[in-house]
Amino acid sequence: MSEIPTPEKPARKRPRHLMDPDNPVREVKSAASGSMHLEPVQKWVLSILAAVTIAHLAAGLVIAAVYVDESRTDAQIGLNILAGAFGVIAVVVFRTIHQFKPLSAWLLLGLIPTIVGLYLTFR
């Protein structure tokens, strides 16, 4: 139990990691004292998850365009254009989640799947 202080034996201070049976409530630091709040972390996780998921869809369309029969040039071009459209959508979703203006020069990044897809399809 607790030690009773006596003149011969001074009371020992309890280490901070141990609970005091006389005062069981432990002081909890607030969440605001951390380096990041919860909301920015949620935004980053959601935006990266959404952008990567949509980018995988665009990459799948490019792969489909590469494996389409060479006599179907219209299908190859169409799939690559769709891949670029989904790339642009991925950039817009990312920017919208972070509450930036969706229209900017960053949308040009969304055209990368079309450029890479056309190169891989017709090389």
pLDDT tens per residue across span 16-35: 677 777 777 756 666 555 55
122: left (phi over 0), alpha (psi -120 to 50) or beta: alpha
pLDDT tens, position by position, 84-100: 999 999 999 999 999 99
The mean pLDDT value for 57-82 works out to: 96
| Cβ neighbours around 40 below 10 Å, total | 10
For the cut 70, the answer to whether the pLDDT of residue 108 exceeds it is yes
- Tell me the domain boundaries of the chain: 37-122
